[in-house]
Amino acid sequence: MDKNFDVIVIGGGPAGYVCAIRSAQLGFKTACIESRGTLGGTCLNVGCIPSKSLLNLSENYHKVQNEFNNLGIESSNVKLNLSKMMSNKNKSVLTLTKGVEYLFKKNKITYLKGKGSILSKNSVSVLDESKNKTNYKTKNVVISTGSIPSSLPGIKIDENNIVSSTGALSFNKVPKELIIIGGGYIGLEMGSVWKRLGSKVTVIEFLDHIIPGMDKDISNEFLKILIKQGINFKLNSKVTNVKVVKDKAIIDFTNNKSSKRERIECDKVLVAVGRKSNIGEDIVKLGIKLEKGKIKVNKKFETSIKGIYAVGDCIQLGPMLAHKAEDEGIAVAEIIAGQAGHVNYEVIPAVIYTSPEVAAVGKTEQELQKESIKYKIGKFPFLANSRAKVNNETEGFVKIIADDKTDKVLGVHIIGSHAGTMIAEMALAMEFGASSEDIARTCHAHPTHTEAVKEAALAVDKRPIHF
């Protein structure tokens, strides 16, 4: 095999595999190194994709058990077959990872299986499963080594009693009691799954609110809805110790305000307190500059060493989200090709796939207040949306924030069914620099949930029709 490449990408997750495909499209001789054994990274293997499978199935299970009887679809003897549910999830993951492998073949990308290490800006080694090392030459290196779960001091994730999201995606029986440390994306998605399947779920969150970074209106509404669904919350609480005694986990935590100490015993603890960049020894050895533990890149995604680029969760730019990583993968390939690859960090949608879903793009009210930007708000509840009403999906609202003077849309925040799909229209509107008036004057199909977006835009100018 020829060992000379134009682009070698290290890591086959959403940043890396997409970068490899775009590089190949641009005519570069491309290789992608991946050590996991399957392509797709955390997202496809142990993240977005398997969690969405379990979220979808557990929601259906919950609806059949708790909602359908009231709506004229009577069922009895509904049973959970967890192992079948897990097999279905694993099958979806396998199909999608194989799909990426097929795309590599289609684009004539060399898939190098093993652990990649950068030796210099033009050479990379790959250590395969049989411990054979092979060196390759390349004109450009792209690091896309992703991220790994963070833990708390003194807490060791064993993926048995104390698990990360990886363990929580593969329990072989429904935990009687599940404690989740961290009320962020992972904690609330996995908490929803196991609550619906029958666990008693308690979320311990350090701050006085959940999903930090999201608009406070949304965060408050979301908390109310989750409490109504039966998830318990211990906010303002700092976990001080977790230990395992005879297959039970014991968690000690202290209330930040009252200093009151509490202890809970449970079967499983999910530690979901964020993720950290996956920085290999080679990166440290080469002296590539870091910023707060992440690889520091410039606007062209170039690290402190010319010719070595980095994209995705491992860099300091933007949130740790698969779609941000994919866009960076495309941008860096185009930059290497001399084109104007670009990612607009002002317009990166974020979605939490709970029920209802939560989705946001652009600025929150709190961010605008900090930046002293004057704004106006339009809000519309799904309770007043006809399609949501007939579907019994009346929880939540759409909130559009527009510049006080220019009316330019600065942020959109949605909590409600299909929020994750609806946010795409808002991202597009913001990319085109839309005003709330532009959205309000765009004809939206009736009856759809998206009419709530149009109504929220009308509400910015205090003229909603249905509320």
Which string of x and - marks every residue 380-419 that binds ligand NAI (by CB under 6 A)?
Answer: ----------------------------------------
- Pick the binder of ligand NAI from 136, 194, 353, 375 (CB under 6 A): 353
55 contacts ligand NAI (rule: CB under 6 A): no
Of 45 and 117, the one with the shorter C-beta distance to ligand NAI is 45
Q: Which residues pair with 30 in a beta bridge?
A: 7
- Pick the binder of ligand NAI from 24, 169, 226, 273 (CB under 6 A): 273
Which string of x and - marks every residue 120-139 that binds ligand NAI (by CB under 6 A)?
Answer: --------------------
Neighbours of 466 (CB within 10 A): 12
Could you tell me if 172 and 83 are in contact, meaning their C-beta atoms sit under 8 angstroms apart? yes
- Closest approach, Cβ 321 to ligand NAI, in A, equals 5
Q: The tokens of 44 are what? A: 């496809």
Q: Which stretch binds ligand NAI (CB under 6 A): 289-297, 316-324, 391-399, 452-460?
A: 316-324
Q: Which stretch binds ligand NAI (CB under 6 A): 177-185, 215-223, 224-232, 257-265?
A: 177-185
**C-alpha–C-alpha distance, residues 301 and 291, integer Å:** 14
Nearest to 192 by CA among 212, 216, 210: 210
Tokens 């000379």 identify what position? Answer: 4
167 contacts ligand NAI (rule: CB under 6 A): no
- Pick the binder of ligand NAI from 351, 359, 430, 439 (CB under 6 A): 351
Q: The tokens of 103 are what? A: 């795309």
Q: The tokens of 394 are what? A: 């009346």
Q: Which stretch binds ligand NAI (CB under 6 A): 92-100, 105-113, 314-322, 411-419?
A: 314-322
- Pick the binder of ligand NAI from 5, 185, 301, 380 (CB under 6 A): 185
293 contacts ligand NAI (rule: CB under 6 A): no
3 state DSSP class of 234: strand
Of 241 and 394, the one with the shorter C-beta distance to ligand NAI is 241
275 contacts ligand NAI (rule: CB under 6 A): yes
**C-alpha–C-alpha distance, residues 198 and 80, integer Å:** 10
189 contacts ligand NAI (rule: CB under 6 A): yes
Which string of x and - marks every residue 212-231 that binds ligand NAI (by CB under 6 A)?
Answer: x-------------------
**Residues in Cβ contact with 376 at an 8 Å cutoff, skipping those fewer than 6 apart:** 401, 402, 403, 404, 407, 460
- Pick the binder of ligand NAI from 96, 103, 127, 207 (CB under 6 A): 207
321 contacts ligand NAI (rule: CB under 6 A): yes
Q: Which residues pair with 125 in a beta bridge?
A: 117, 135
358 contacts ligand NAI (rule: CB under 6 A): no
Q: The tokens of 36 are what? A: 């996991």
Residue 441 is given by DSSP the state: T
**C-alpha–C-alpha distance, residues 326 and 286, integer Å:** 26
**C-alpha–C-alpha distance, residues 276 and 31, integer Å:** 26
Could you tell me if 270 and 188 are in contact, meaning their C-beta atoms sit under 8 angstroms apart? no
Q: Which residues are catalytic?
A: 446
Nearest residue to ligand NAI on Cβ basis: 184
Task: Give the type of residue at 315.
Answer: I
**What is the residue-wise DSSP string for 282-337?**
HHHHHT--EETTEE---TT-B-SSTTEEE-GGGBSSS-S-HHHHHHHHHHHHHHHT
186 contacts ligand NAI (rule: CB under 6 A): yes
- Residue 313: what are its φ and ψ, rounded to 5°? -60, -25
**C-alpha–C-alpha distance, residues 107 and 337, integer Å:** 17
Binding residues with ligand NAI: total (CB under 6 A): 26
- Pick the binder of ligand NAI from 10, 19, 180, 320 (CB under 6 A): 320
Residues engaged in binding ligand NAI (CB under 6 A) = 152, 181-187, 189, 204-207, 212, 238-239, 272-275, 319-321, 351-353
